[in-house]
Amino acid sequence: MKKVIVYEIKGLYRDNFRVTGYEFGEGEKAVCIVGSMRGNEVQQMYCCSQLVRKLKQMEAERKLTEGQKILVIPCANPYSVNTQKRFWPVDNTDINRMFPGYHLGETTQRIADGVFQVISEYRFGIQFTSFYMPGEFMPHVRMMSTGFEDAQIAKQFGMPYVVLRQVRPYDTTTLNYNWQIWETQAFSMYTTTTTRVDKRSAKEAMRGILTFMNKQGILQYHGHDGYVSLVVKDGDMVPVRTGRAGLFDPLVTVGTEVERGQILARIIDAYEGEVIEELLAPVDGIVFFMHGEPLTYSNTAVFKLVVREE
């Protein structure tokens, strides 16, 4: 294992800003794995830390294929982690909306450029990321439909789901999109949580990544191959929206199989304590996403359901 500085900015009044990476093996740049880019992505950083620990052990056991290099970057935004701010603490900008970056631009553009100059040379790119809405997911691999995606390769992770997401205009400045445009096969890895560590889903994600690298001949890993992945389109999921604002009281969990008409959650009046709305499942399906905050606004998608196949 080699610890490297991927990118660094000189600090005037405090320590320098550094993006630290861990390299395993030598030769062709095979896989780059990136963790948290936002200050609240604790689970994403934890997942990478566990991969660093595991790859260090596997390297000592000579289970890494010669001529293949793996790079793991646990955190690309340590300043925001240290200040517990989701975005860049000075101007509240999102590094994952700044790619491919600009070396003469704003600070977050420079960070994106410095990191991307290094990681764009890898054949595969895996990013542990989080959703723009707070909540919990079924663990899955996600790809943007740029025309360069390959769902069959994504199935090699053995995750329960492979989700294909239609590109929106604001996606063109994300790491995943730019990785694909620059001919890196890019995947986003979602685990259950973001702001807290969930060891179970982190272990499942690590198993998926090691399984993928084994099938690509990058290392030797003999674990459980996981699931036969179901490929779904993000737009085909059925959202369940609130009609009223209030306290969110879910009656199911992520991964629950539900039937049409089943009560998924209640909305409670925050002042008077009365149930003002019951949210019903519109289809037979599986809870794929669930809102993760105790309060909700009206017209908010608090659930997303994958329609259960007959």
3-state secondary structure string across the chain: CEEEEEEEECCCCCCCEEEEEEEECCCEEEEEEEEECCCCCHHHHHHHHHHHHHHHHHHHCCCECCCEEEEEEEECCHHHHHHCCCCCCCCCCCHHHCCCCCCCCCHHHHHHHHHHHHHCCCCEEEEECCCCCCEEECCEEEEEECCCCCHHHHHHHCCCEEEEEECCHHHHHCHHHHHHHCCCEEEEEECCCCCCCCHHHHHHHHHHHHHHHHHCCCECCCCCCCCCCEEEEHHHCEEEECCCCEEEEECCCCCCEECCCCEEEEEECCCCCCEEEEEECCCCEEEEEEECCCEECCCCEEEEEEECCC
Do 10 and 108 belong together in one domain? Answer: yes
Do 176 and 263 belong together in one domain? Answer: no
197 burial level (CB within 10 Å; 0-12, 13-18, 19+): middle
Total count of domains within the chain = 2
Instruction: For 265-310, write each residue's pLDDT tens digit.
Output: 999 999 999 999 999 999 999 999 999 999 999 999 999 999 986 5
Rounded to 10 degrees, the C-alpha dihedral 90/91/93/99 comes to -80
172 burial level (CB within 10 Å; 0-12, 13-18, 19+): middle
Question: Which residue, of 170, 205, 233, is where some domain finishes?
Answer: 233
Do 142 and 269 belong together in one domain? Answer: no
Phi and psi at residue 250, to the nearest 5°: -75, 145
Do 41 and 189 belong together in one domain? Answer: yes
Do 97 and 180 belong together in one domain? Answer: yes
The pLDDT of residue 310 is 58
The pLDDT of residue 35 is 97
Do 226 and 250 belong together in one domain? Answer: no
Instruction: For 222-258, write each residue's pLDDT tens digit.
Output: 887 788 899 999 989 999 999 999 999 999 999 999 9
The separation between CA 201 and the C-alpha centre of its own chain, rounded to angstroms, equals 12
Do 288 and 193 belong together in one domain? Answer: no
Q: What is the CATH number of the domain that holds 65?
A: 3.40.630.10
Do 256 and 115 belong together in one domain? Answer: no
Where do we find the tokens 């994952």? Answer: 96
| Token pair in block for residue 285 | 């399906």
What is the span of the domain harbouring residue 92?
A: 2-233
Q: What is the CATH number of the domain that holds 277?
A: 2.40.50.100
Question: Which residue, of 216, 233, 250, is where some domain finishes?
Answer: 233
The pLDDT of residue 12 is 67
Length of the chain (residues): 310
Question: Which residue, of 202, 233, 264, is where some domain finishes?
Answer: 233
- CA-to-CA distance for 21 and 67, rounded, in angstroms? 19
Do 93 and 199 belong together in one domain? Answer: yes
Do 171 and 215 belong together in one domain? Answer: yes
Do 165 and 29 belong together in one domain? Answer: yes
pTM of structure = 0.93
- CA-to-CA distance for 15 and 50, rounded, in angstroms? 26
Do 249 and 228 belong together in one domain? Answer: no
Per-10-residue mean pLDDT for the chain, 310 residues long?
A: 96 85 97 97 97 98 97 96 91 95 95 97 96 88 89 94 91 94 95 94 96 96 85 94 98 96 98 98 97 95 88
The pLDDT of residue 13 is 72
